Structure 1
């Protein structure tokens, strides 16, 4: 017979202290979010004073350098600010269409036209003035503008409402002579002078109503459908060439500096209620400053391990990316894999190849024909290169697969299709239509 009694058991559990929760939260903040968080903390903690970072790049102290036995020489300079590269373009779809359809030596002119659009998608500056500013022939710039007007969404880069609507109708193969006459007489349409419109278009009432329905379905301001510009990306780390190697720095440009209010701290007295309150604020402030230091050191440690592994990318670009997992970085840095995930999430690094997310450097390993492995990102970059250079002969997914396999990549068609879609590149049939329209 069982007799009721007390049984003692021992177990272990992880207690999340406020300091630990704060440290984990700081790891996940982006530069912008962290700066905003620090401002909010300083509003509630009287012992903390926020100062903008006004540090100036100076000579790198010898104590800040360390080298590895690896032939790739890296230097870490935790507190040296650097000039960050320009952020990525906000209108990726249009940029991609320009790269696919405009000759490389004329793409800068196309990008300049893109930057000149107003919020409705209209080009308000004359082509002649733009051509003069660019130092190119106005007739050629006009030819480029005509091509751009038929990109998706059609009607951008137009100089007038008539041009905008005509471009959309031309893409739909509906710009017949009668429709062109209607567009040439939009003033009559605005005045609702139906009799004159029927006479000029040589149409009966029913046909004219059909054409008006088509006009109403068009977008007079296609630029408004574009997504709003994304906020500029501020990198957390910056890597630059440094002699035969590279220098990694922590970007402090957006982060204000925290310091104690020494006069107020001198008034801390644990024997009074006010002093005890100040003591609590002092404890919180000390924990925050320590957590910020740990965050910076963790970012530098992980960033160093990543760029050391991906040194070939810094020199040669995305095609040179090597396979890498977070577990490998965790083993190198002696940090937990979950900590690595928090550190690299939504963090960016400014490199000689542009500003890229830290997660770009992590990808699975795919086998190649010579028995080695290739980064999935490197294959995606090669796939994008093949499509960008395809010219008038648009490559199907089968053709792309065959070319990649010929270059030594062990890849199947379904993977090629997945990578293509992930890169935001249309199917071959859609790309063919885009080129015919252009």
Structure 2
């Protein structure tokens, strides 16, 4: 067997650790970015936050990223649901045994105020009869907010109606037939409740005034806020101006004086100098990456605003269809880069704060051969048509599709139904029943 050596030359594409970190940096939102930069400053003695004069914006905090004494830290957190319930349990005349059961029940409350376990299940864990758990549960269901400790929607509504002294046999029948109410089958409801149109109208008004998730009124967890990455403001000379907020974008500098002093005291070939050189390279990379990240976001945002300027000026009805490739081709970037930039990034506009992904919508062909329409704008039109319906004229999906076609929007009936269901808009039959009931109820109120 003969052995030999040979050289083989080939090309391969690899990602360096710093390039991978730069990609991750581009995907981060503002809170994640500030947390990452803070960790880098802890690891790297050559880095410090840039001292700059804050530029306050309307509705925004002017706290610099390096200032840990944020205003929010001085504000007391709102009372949570569990704190509210615990304080009431402590003032309720329970025996020690009952108080133990009450605290166990309170521990199984979810954020909506509903009980997340059955009485038999908790009785088994506590090794006590289920009747004892039911008795304590009945006391807890009188606590504030009304409807708390319910195990179902019907029970939640029943608790609130009992506290209002409005749980009569007709209401009992209504809460027992919530599935019929969800279908808006008012004819069946009238039969089962034994009431006429006017009485059913009054009952439904009372049901609408109840809270199906009483616990949602309380704070749960740490406060969350959306921090815009860029601001879109009208330019004095016309058009729109895009700029990052300097008070939320972290900016760091190298401590040149510190680096010079330490370099003078250590040897050029010492381990300390090697460590300083690594820190210097990491610092230069971080400064460059932060600058490149800000420029990339502004570049993508500028193109989005250029293509969606009609939305900023006139509203959602003028939102144009747009995809990632259309933006990427104009600014000479890869689609994946645009996708990373638009994920979890927000733009503040005169019409509100929007995620950059919001401006990318599916195109719907025009029936007249003109420009395509945005799916979001079409959904907005459908919702507006439904809102303008009268009692005598409720539009079916076919009629909505015909009206859209008259406006130059070619949309199939099944697509109209899909958009309508996605917006939680009932069918034409259900809307007609509801409007007829409201009409008859209002007529009865006027007559009385």
The answer to whether the superposition gives a TM-score over 0.5 is: yes
The equivalent residue for 1:192 is none
Q: Secondary structure at the match of 2:174?
A: coil
**CA-to-aligned-CA distance 1:114-161 (integer Å, 9 cap, x gap):** xxx9969x9xxxxxxxxxxxxxxxxxxxxxxxxxxxxxx8979x9997
Q: 2:161–2:167: 8 Å Cα contact kept in structure 1?
A: no
Shift of 1:421: 3.4
* Alpha carbons of structure 1 residues 415 and 41: separation in structure 2 relative to 1, 3 Å: same
SS at match of 1:247: strand
Q: State the shift of 1:340 in Å.
A: 0.7
TM-score between both structures, scaled by the size of structure 2: 0.59
Displacement after TM superposition at 1:245 (Å):
1.9
SS at match of 2:348: strand
Which whole-Å CA distance do the structure 2 matches of 1:283 and 1:43 have between them?
16
Number of positions where the alignment pairs a residue of Structure 1 with one of Structure 2? 310
Does structure 2 retain, via aligned residues, the 8 Å contact 1:165–1:220? Answer: no
Give secondary structure in 2 for the equivalent of 1:43: helix
SS of alignment partner, residue 173 of structure 1: helix
Q: Measure the CA separation in 2 of the matches of 1:337 and 1:279.
A: 36
Higher RCO (C-alpha 8 Å, min separation 6): 1
2:389 aligned with 1:390, yes or no? yes
On the 8 A contact 1:28/1:343 being kept in 2, the answer is yes
Match of 1:265 in 2: 259
Deviation at 1:256?
3.3
Judged with a 3 Å threshold, the aligned counterparts in structure 2 of structure 1 residues 277 and 250 are, in CA distance, closer, same or farther, namely same
Q: Is the Cα–Cα contact under 8 Å of residues 312 and 321 in structure 1 kept in the other structure?
A: yes
Distance 1:162 1:236, change over 3 A: same
* More deviation, 271-280/395-404: 395-404
Q: Does 1:232 align with 2:225?
A: yes
Give the Cα–Cα distance (whole angstroms) in 1 for the partners of residues 290 and 332 of structure 2. Answer: 19
Q: Aligned residue for 1:126?
A: none
- The equivalent of 2:240 in structure 1 is 246
Q: Please tell me whether the aligned partners of residues 330 and 336 of structure 1 are also in contact (alpha carbons under 8 angstroms).
A: yes
Match of 1:417 in 2: 417
Q: What CA distance in whole angstroms lies between the structure 2 residues aligned with 1:52 and 1:223? A: 47
CA distance in 2, matches of 1:410, 1:25: 41
Q: Which residue of 2 aligns with 1:97?
A: none
Contact 2:319 2:359 in 1 (8 A): yes
Distance 2:349 2:296 in 1: 19
In the alignment, is the contact (CA less than 8 A) between 1:26 and 1:34 conserved in 2?
yes
Unmatched segments (≥5 aa) in structure 1: 58-81, 87-116, 123-152, 176-218
Is 1:353 matched up with 2:351?
A: yes
User: CA–CA distance in 1 between the matches of 2:211 and 2:298?
Assistant: 50
Contact 2:311 2:319 in 1 (8 A): yes
Structure 2: gaps (5+ residues): 62-78, 85-152, 177-209, 442-448
The RMSD of aligned alpha carbons is 4.1
Q: Name 2:174's counterpart in structure 1.
A: 173
Contact kept in structure 2, 1:314 and 1:353, CA below 8 Å = yes
The answer to whether the 8 Å contact 1:50/1:259 transfers is: yes
Q: Say if 1:365 and 1:274 are closer, same or farther in 2 by CA, change over 3 A.
A: same
Q: Distance in 1 between matches of 2:226 and 2:406?
A: 38
Match in the other structure for 2:33: 34
Report deviation, 1:384.
2.3
* CA drift at 1:403: 2.5
Q: Given the two structures, how large is their TM-score scaled by the length of structure 1?
A: 0.60
Change (3 A) 1:171 1:276: farther
> Could you tell me how far 1:172 is from its partner in structure 2?
6.2
Tell me, yes or no, if the aligned pair for 1:345 and 1:358 is still in contact at 8 Å: yes
Q: Distance in 2 between matches of 1:7 and 1:164?
A: 94
Q: 1:174 to 1:331 in 2, by over 3 A?
A: closer
Counterpart-to-counterpart distance in 2, 1:173 and 1:47: 70
* Alpha carbons 2:240, 2:305 under 8 Å: kept: no
Equivalent pair of 1:164/1:220 in contact (CA under 8 Å): no
Distance apart, 1:240 and its partner CA: 1.1
* Contact in 1 for aligned 2:346/2:353 (Cα 8 Å): yes
SS at match of 1:16: coil
The answer to which of 252-261 and 402-411 deviates more is 252-261
Q: 8 Å contact 1:22–1:291 — kept in the other structure?
A: no
Query: Which moves more between the two structures, 271-280 or 255-264?
Result: 255-264
Do the aligned partners of 1:84 and 1:235 also contact (CA within 8 Å) in 2?
Answer: no
Shift of 1:425: 3.9
Q: Secondary structure at the match of 1:349?
A: strand
Work out whether residues 80 and 220 of structure 2, in 8 Å CA contact, stay in contact via their aligned partners in 1: no
* SS, match of residue 364 in structure 2: strand
